[in-house]
Structure 1
Amino acid sequence: MLFTYVLFHSFVSEVKAEDLPQVNGESAILIDAKTGTIIYEKNANTPMYPASITKIATGIYAIENGNPDDVVTVSKNARYVEGTRVYLGEGEQVPLRKLEYGLLMHSGNDAAIAIAEHMEGSEAKFAEKLNQYLAETVGVEKTHFTNPHGLHDENHYTTASDMAKIARYAMKNETFRTIVGTLRLPWDGKEWKSELNNHNKLLRDYEGATGIKNGFTDQAMHTLVGSAKRGDTEFIAVTMKTSTSALAYKDVRTLLDYGFAHYETKMVTKHGTIYKDQGSKQEYVVDEDLYVTAPLGASIETNVTQSGQLIVAAGNKQYEFMLTPKFKPAPRIPVDAEANKAPIASAKAPYYALFAAWLLLNATLVLYVVTRRTRRQRRASAKNIYRRMGQP
């Protein structure tokens, strides 16, 4: 983890020397979705109000921890929540899967509360479980949510860096990817019969857009997490606290454009590949597919060190990956120990000789005693026989 931190931040510091994109949001970040490499950041670790991009976390939590076929009964609390809704009716019964679409496509606050209450009993309990999940499973560091929808609360905050981590984790789930990439969906509800239209405008006008979610409150202002994939390369961009929706989308497009213009994701090697250190001849195996974020068009060169590190050079960038020894080498006996083997054995030789002499002496005594006893028994038997025959 320490190496990853140093690697990513040294990567960013090198990129800053170039002509970086200009963004309007107070906080922003651009990462490679495959490797997690940070390509650009601006106040990325500053706490911000997220608004509805909170629903990215709620959505992936529900997908991974809920049963999509569960039937959820909508409460009065969910029915009368403020803000964007999919107009769920009080007492309406809706499959959890359908609520996930209403949450992520249409940003329904009522869908968020219905999901939270169904899964954990209340919004507060859901927030507690969600925070634990994000910290332990996703690895966020500066995020604390108090509700499942993102309506303003002083203690409801995150950072652009954490949101990028959450989005990257969520996009590894195919169900989540499908939902946030869906443009339209018929909606046949108790109080509302219509068609859901995905609120994310990137899906309509940005090449290769794959997601993810926008948000707005008066305090958070406009927030947006966007992703796009071209070929084998996918980037995730986050902008927070922009003054208008148009500027938020401009930020994300600018960041994504910059990523595709300068970098690409390249596979270094596949899981199971064997590397050999030419010095020690030790073989190492790759535990998972390895990728790097490389300058566009850069070639990949690899080298294995005696300590089992795979050094990857991609243009002017360098990465290191720890490999697993295929066979554990036998432990080497220190030179001093080899030298001391003979003296130790030699020093113990007199004790071994004394022990052998003691055993021999005891064996001789035992044999002597047994022999004498046997002779006495024979003499006594002979005397008895002579007496019976009347001989002296």
Structure 2
Amino acid sequence: MKHKISIMLLLFLMIFSSHSSSLASSEDQPNLMSEAAILIDANSGKVIFGKNAKRQMYPASITKMVTGILAIEEGDLTDIVRVSKEATKVDGTRVYLLEEEEVKLKRLVQGLLVNSGNDAGTAIAEHLADSESAFATKMNNFVKEEVGVTDSNFTNPHGLYDENHYTTAYDMAKIAQYAIENESFKKIVGTKELEWNGEGWETTLYNHHRLLWDYEGVTGIKNGYVLQSGFTLATSAEREGVELIAVTLNAPSSQDAYRDTTKLLDYGFGNFSTEEFSAGQTFEDNEGNQYQLESQTYVTVPKNSTTTTNIFDDALVIRNEDGTVIFEEELSPVNDFEKPLKERVEDFVALDDKVEPWPPNLGIRNWINQEVNK
């Protein structure tokens, strides 16, 4: 969803690039150990809180969000993938694939996102693009063209360290927002446990994202760690009609990453709500002109705060009680020809009353009255 954002909002969104920012007062902001973090409303895309959210960082295994959604959207999950020798030799966490083993693409995506299998990531990359480097090109094109983020560069499908493999908390939140709109992706990242019956490994996989068990409403997504990145975590959660996405980067420990994420989610659910406006919903300005929204729209608003809604310069403008613009969306005028005939005729009669009478022999007013009364 793309919104027309005012200059004021644009400047607001940019100030969190070097320090903490929030929609609420500074004393309410969570104090985090992670070097960079962000919290957004998954429906509206609104940035609720940010700390160094545009700072270039190493993502580690939350990279796999990109690999997973790319495999789901551009691959065929029923495909049979033959595992290469190179895939079996990838460092780090694995699902212990064997050379020449044949596995469904869907199974590899599950092993990638539930158990963080680096070997599954390489097998997916080679299946879709013949090599990790060629797949990385697809990843970069995908996040720019489909998701719309521009401050990331990926060199591999799994997140193992490379100095040219980087992202930002903001970019990762937008990638997560895009990915969870896909029901297959959302179901996989929310899988707590999965029976794995591979040729080289038979076990029960338990999702590495511990908040699936420990925080009410968490629905996924992915954790990560390499030495150069510290502990990274991307999380989605839903409560009472509000859906949030939190990303933390370079936490000193996994416990710090989970604590920071818990603070962010508590802050979001405790202080904000989401209002929905349906496509085609109409609004009227002070002069009686009617306008409508072209598409379904979500707005993030502070709880326990009075907001005002006005039509200004053909746009829906919502302001906080202190006058701050929190949302602006261009509207489309409701054309007269879309009105029922009776309403159009009544408008015509009202206009006729303001001008000189029609000649008696024309009989137009009699015809109008007949049409109105049908």
1:66-93 deviation line (CA, Å, top 9, x unaligned): 1111111100011111100011111111
2:290 is aligned to 283
- CA distance in 2 between partners of 1:315 and 1:72 (Å): 57
- Residue in structure 2 matched with residue 127 of structure 1 by the alignment: 136
Partner of 1:313: 319
Structure 1 pair 66–7 and aligned structure 2 pair: CA distance change class (3 A): same
- Is contact 1:224-1:239 (8 Å) kept? yes
Aligned pairs for 1:73-152 (under 5 A) are 73-152=82-161
Determine helix, strand or coil for the equivalent of 1:130: helix
Q: Which amino acid aligns with 1:313?
A: R
What is the identity, as a one-letter code, of the residue corresponding to 2:148? Answer: G
Which of 166, 170, 181 matches 2:179?
170
Q: Is contact 2:153–2:165 with CA below 8 Å preserved after alignment?
A: yes
Is 2:302 aligned against 1:295?
A: yes
* Structure 1: stretches of 5+ with no match in the other structure: 330-392
The offset of 1:9, in angstroms, is: 5.2
Shift in Å, 1:10: 7.8
1:144-293 correspondence to structure 2 within 5 Å: 144-267=153-276, 269-279=277-287, 281-293=288-300
AA matched with 2:97: L
Query: Could you tell me which residue of structure 2 aligns to residue 327 of structure 1?
Result: 335
Deviations 1:273-303 (A, max 9, x none): 1223342x44322111222111114455422
Task: Kindly state the Cα deviation for residue 176 of structure 1 after the two structures are TM-superposed.
Answer: 0.9
2:14 is aligned with 1:5: no
Cα deviation 1:47-72 (Å, max 9, x = unaligned): 11110000011111111111111111
Q: Which runs of 5+ in 2 are unaligned?
A: 338-374
Structure number with bigger Rg: 1
Asked whether the equivalents of residues 61 and 160 of structure 2 are also in contact (C-alpha less than 8 Å), the reply is yes
Task: State how far apart, in whole Å, the 1-side matches of 2:192 and 2:87 are.
Answer: 25
Greater helix share, structure number = 1
Aligned partners of 1:101, 1:10: CA distance in 2, in Å? 37
SS of 2:27 mapped into structure 1: coil
The alignment partner of 1:210 has SS state of strand
Matched letter for residue 5 of structure 1: L
Counterpart position of 1:61: 70
What is the number of residues matched between the two proteins?
Answer: 326
The code of the aligned residue for 2:56 comes to: P
1:197, distance to aligned residue in structure 2 (A): 0.7
SS at structure 2 position matched to 1:261? helix
Partners in 1 of 2:37 and 2:321 — Cα distance?
Answer: 26
Post-superposition offset of 1:95: 0.8
Rounded Cα–Cα distance in structure 2 between residues aligned with 1:29 and 1:310: 27
Does the aligned pair in 2 maintain the 1:295–1:315 contact within 8 Å? Answer: no
**What residue in structure 2 maps to residue 33 of structure 1?**
42
Q: Does the CA contact (< 8 Å) of 1:9 and 1:38 recur in 2?
A: no
Q: TM-score, normalising length from structure 1? A: 0.79
SS of equivalent to 1:44: coil
Q: Offset of 1:209 from its aligned partner? A: 0.5
Residue of structure 2 equivalent to 1:354: none
SS of the residue corresponding to residue 30 of structure 1 reads strand
Q: Distance in 2 between matches of 1:96 and 1:16?
A: 47
Q: 1:328 to 1:88 in 2, by over 3 A?
A: farther
Q: In the TM superposition, what is the alpha-carbon distance from 1:16 to its structure 2 partner?
A: 5.0
CA RMSD of aligned residues (A): 1.9
1:9-39: CA deviations, max 9, x gaps? 5894653533311100111111111111111
Any idea what the Cα deviations from partners look like across 1:313-342, whole Å, max 9, x if unmatched? 35545321101223289xxxxxxxxxxxxx
Indicate conservation of the 8 Å contact 1:211/1:226, yes or no.
yes
After TM superposition, give the deviation of residue 132 of structure 1 in Å. 0.7
Distance 1:29 1:161 in 2: 6
Amino acid at match of 1:222: F
Partner residue in 1 for 2:356: none
Q: Distance in 2 between matches of 1:270 and 1:242?
A: 39
Assess if the C-alpha contact under 8 Å between 1:48 and 1:158 holds in 2.
yes
Displacement after TM superposition at 1:207 (Å): 0.7
Using a 3 Å threshold, how does the CA distance of structure 1 residues 13 and 223 change in structure 2: closer, same or farther?
Answer: closer
Q: 1-side partners of 2:147 and 2:117: how far apart?
A: 24
**Deviation of 1:261 (Å):** 1.3
SS at match of 1:18: helix
Q: Name the aligned partner's letter for residue 284 of structure 1.
A: Y
Per-residue deviation, 1:2: 5.2
Partner of 2:54: 45
TM-score, normalization by structure 2: 0.83
Structure 2 distance, partners of 1:81, 1:10, is: 40
Structure with the larger RCO, 1 or 2 (CA within 8 Å, 6+ apart): 2
